[in-house]
Chains A and B, each alone.
Chain A
């Protein structure tokens, strides 16, 4: 049972490049989330989804887009990467908003 899988694990981009981070979960969870975590700071919610075909903005959505075309996948896109988006990105999933979230092991993204 893989749980929550994130790809890639590491990536270095140049300013202005675009990329997509993939999150896949095999627990049949309805809710999925994308967070970023910066040194010395807590988790900040970027976007989330309450079910297939739905997305919603979190605390820091600017510069990111998401899609949930399939229940098991939640994609995070950076259209034009900026150095301020250098961070560790975590994906999580949960049965509903009251239940614990299960996290992937993160994507470390550096933008030069």
Chain B
């Protein structure tokens, strides 16, 4: 099983729609969770961190479910500019030995006019 798994999509949604992505992780000891977005041929950019209590930033809501070991990203009122690949990122800390984040392969979103 991969450490971090995402549905690759593509998700094609009309402008104004609500869309949600899930990401599962295998290491129950993981402590840090993030969502990044990556535009075509560009560098990944931090979208938001994911906290245990859930957090919201404008139209974006991130949630963490430790019991089921997944994080989610909800985008409301989709804009054309939201079209990108969304990367789930987890720090699979185990006994303090890990020194890097693990990136999922990404979920591709296309918002259609």
Does B105 sit at the interface, judged by CB under 8 A?
yes
A 94-109 binary contact with B (CB < 8 Å = 1; else 0): 1001111111111000
Known A100-B49, A105-B42: A50·B87 in contact at CB below 8 Å: no
Contact residues in A for B31 (Cβ distance below 8 Å)? 98
Interface residues of B in 62-113 (CB under 8 A from A): 87, 89, 91, 93, 98-101, 103-106
In the bound complex, do residue A98 and residue B49 qualify as a contact, i.e. CB atoms below 8 Å apart? no
In the bound complex, do residue B93 and residue A90 qualify as a contact, i.e. CB atoms below 8 Å apart? no
Q: Quick one: closest A residue to B31, CB to CB? A: A98
Name the one of A43, A56, A97 contacting B44, with C-beta atoms under 8 angstroms.
Answer: A43
Does B52 sit at the interface, judged by CB under 8 A?
no
In the bound complex, do residue B91 and residue A97 qualify as a contact, i.e. CB atoms below 8 Å apart? yes
Nearest-neighbour CB distance to chain A for B6, whole angstroms, equals 9
Q: List chain A positions with a Cβ less than 8 A from chain B.
A: 31, 33, 41-43, 45, 48, 50, 56, 58, 88, 90, 94, 97-106
